[in-house]
């Protein structure tokens, strides 16, 4: 095992898959000469050339459409969004193109495309650059949605996403790029649709993904000093969802807290609460609690941005409520 950053884990995944399969190529704004806005593509253009690491104009709808077309004829494009906020400009190509082509072609045309880049808030980037849009894409049949929390998961999941024959939305935590974790030196992949228990516990289930896994674990550390044992599950893939792992955990603990950076209305957390109340109602000892981002455009002011994000303190309060400790 080696200790590397989240960005370097993604870089390794891209490099290894480009070596493994000549059909894989990377395309997006500043991915080549500048080596990526967040340096995820560092060194790739020098190694693979300008035909496989392609700098594009600032036109998300255009280069995403090129990627969809390339996937239709057998290539395996990786499209980088400088931020997922900019993917809104490419929604037609993603939702009406990539997601629907397999169904509308009667199963004849696969779209093996990965669309990846940073999502969520970072540090004072303002309302238009701080949005968590995973619920938008998880809402769409035909798309797979991945949100990795650690370097280990980022590498293994990205490799699986590139090999997948369906379109994959791969949302990276913008503030995670510099975080470090252990990654095996040998080849490995992580199957899509399989969650991971980041901390085993018996009293309450906490579901999280991406940056919120760290928030959940920090809360669990504090709660452990109060003799509250938290089962922290990193979903890793939001669609397909590891439903059985969620239900098994809630069956053991009887309580659920969902932590997500996104807005509360029509969110992934709302879907998880629905799943549990439908399939595990008799196992619940308390109502499901959700800790979300504030239901407002993200403020620019640092103190207000902090208040707009889920925090360990808010998770602790939610856990105490389901435990009837306050």
Report which of 98, 108, 29 is spatially closest to residue 70, judged by C-alpha positions: 98
Which residues are CB-contacts of 133 (< 8 A; sequence separation ≥ 6)? 84, 85, 87, 88, 119, 171, 262
Rg (CA), the chain: 20
Q: Do 248 and 150 lie in a common domain?
A: no
- Listed in sequence order, the DSSP H helices in the chain are 6-20, 44-48, 60-72, 91, 101-104, 134-138, 151-163, 212-224, 243-253, 268-279, 302-308, 312-322
Q: Do 178 and 232 lie in a common domain?
A: no
DSSP string across 60-78: HHHHHHHHHHHHHTT-EEE
Q: Do 23 and 163 lie in a common domain?
A: yes
Q: For residue 171, is it within any domain?
A: yes
pLDDT in single tens digits along all 326 residues of the chain: 999 999 999 999 999 999 999 999 999 999 999 999 999 999 999 999 999 999 999 999 999 999 999 999 999 999 999 999 999 999 999 999 999 999 999 999 999 999 999 999 999 999 999 999 999 999 999 999 999 999 999 999 999 999 999 999 999 999 999 999 999 999 999 999 999 999 999 999 999 999 999 999 999 999 999 999 999 999 999 999 999 999 999 999 999 999 999 999 999 999 999 999 999 999 999 999 999 999 999 999 999 999 999 999 999 999 999 999 97
140-157 in b/e form (b: 16+ CB < 10 A) is bebbbbbbbbbbbbbbbb
Q: Do 174 and 239 lie in a common domain?
A: no
CB 127 within 8 A of CB 300: yes
Beta bridge partners of 168: 114, 144
Q: What is the pLDDT of residue 114?
A: 98
Report which of 324, 13, 40 is spatially closest to residue 157, judged by C-alpha positions: 13
Q: For residue 190, is it within any domain?
A: no
Q: Which of residues 146, 162, 183 is at a domain's end?
A: 183
Q: Do 16 and 84 lie in a common domain?
A: yes
Q: For residue 188, is it within any domain?
A: no
Q: Do 7 and 127 lie in a common domain?
A: yes
Q: Do 58 and 155 lie in a common domain?
A: yes
Phi–psi pair at 39, nearest 5 degrees:
65, 25
Is 279 catalytic? The answer is no
In eight-state DSSP terms, residue 255 is -
State how beta strands 230-234 and 204-208 pair: parallel
Number of domains forming the structure of the chain:
2
Instruction: Report the alpha-carbon distance of residue 26 to residue 44 in Å, rounded.
Output: 9
The pair of three-digit structure tokens given for residue 53, joined into one six-digit string = 């690491």
Q: Which of residues 183, 216, 244 is at a domain's end?
A: 183
Catalytic hit among 29, 80, 129, 261: 129
Q: Do 254 and 152 lie in a common domain?
A: no
Q: For residue 189, is it within any domain?
A: no
Q: Do 179 and 202 lie in a common domain?
A: no
Question: End-to-end distance of the chain based on CA atoms, in angstroms?
Answer: 43
CA distances from 222 to 31, 206, 249 (A): 41, 14, 20
Is 129 catalytic? The answer is yes
Q: Do 213 and 158 lie in a common domain?
A: no
Q: What is the CATH number of the domain that holds 19?
A: 3.40.50.970
Strands (E) in 85-178, as ranges, are: 114-119, 144-146, 168-173
The pair of three-digit structure tokens given for residue 69, joined into one six-digit string = 């077309």
The pair of three-digit structure tokens given for residue 323, joined into one six-digit string = 């435990």
Which residues are CB-contacts of 20 (< 8 A; sequence separation ≥ 6)? none
Q: What is the pLDDT of residue 326?
A: 78
CB 230 within 8 A of CB 268: no
Q: Which of residues 183, 217, 236 is at a domain's end?
A: 183
Q: What is the CATH number of the domain that holds 300?
A: 3.40.50.920
Q: Do 34 and 149 lie in a common domain?
A: yes
State how beta strands 144-146 and 237-239 pair: antiparallel
Q: Do 70 and 114 lie in a common domain?
A: yes
185-202 in b/e form (b: 16+ CB < 10 A) is eeeebbebbebbebbebe
Per the structure, the complete domain to which residue 230 belongs is given by 196-322
Beta bridge partners of 171: 117
Catalytic hit among 17, 29, 60, 134: 60
């Amino acid at each position: 095992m080696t200790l590397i950053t989240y960005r370097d884990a993604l870089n390794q995944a891209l490099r290894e898959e480009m070596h493994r399969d000549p059909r894989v190529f990377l395309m997006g704004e500043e991915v080549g000469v500048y080596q990526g806005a967040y340096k995820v593509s560092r060194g790739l253009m020098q190694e693979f050339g300008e035909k496989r690491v392609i700098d594009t104009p600032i036109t998300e709808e255009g280069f995403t459409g090129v990627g969809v077309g390339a996937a239709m004829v057998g290539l395996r494009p990786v499209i980088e969004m400088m931020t997922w906020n900019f993917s809104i400009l490419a929604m037609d190509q993603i939702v009406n193109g990539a997601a629907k082509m397999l169904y509308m072609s009667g199963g004849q045309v696969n779209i093996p495309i990965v669309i990846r880049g940073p999502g969520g808030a970072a540090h004072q980037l303002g309302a238009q650059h701080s949005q968590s849009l995973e619920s938008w894409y998880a809402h769409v049949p035909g798309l797979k949605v991945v949100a990795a929390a650690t370097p280990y998961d980022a590498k293994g999941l990205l490799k699986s996403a590139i090999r997948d024959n369906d379109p994959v939305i791969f949302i990276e935590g913008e503030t995670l790029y510099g975080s470090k974790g252990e990654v095996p030196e040998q080849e490995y992949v992580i199957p899509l649709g399989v969650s991971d228990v980041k901390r085993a516990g018996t009293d309450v289930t906490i579901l999280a993904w991406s940056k919120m896994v760290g928030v959940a674990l920090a809360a669990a550390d504090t709660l452990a000093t109060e003799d509250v044992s938290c089962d922290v599950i990193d979903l890793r893939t939001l669609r397909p969802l590891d439903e059985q792992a969620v239900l098994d955990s809630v069956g053991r603990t009887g309580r659920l807290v969902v932590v997500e950076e996104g807005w509360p209305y029509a969110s992934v957390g709302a879907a998880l609460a629905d799943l549990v109340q439908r399939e595990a109602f008799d196992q619940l000892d308390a109502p499901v609690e959700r800790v979300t981002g504030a239901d407002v455009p993200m403020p620019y002011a640092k103190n207000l941005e902090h208040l707009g994000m889920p925090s360990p303190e808010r998770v602790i309060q939610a856990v105490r409520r389901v435990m009837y400790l306050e």
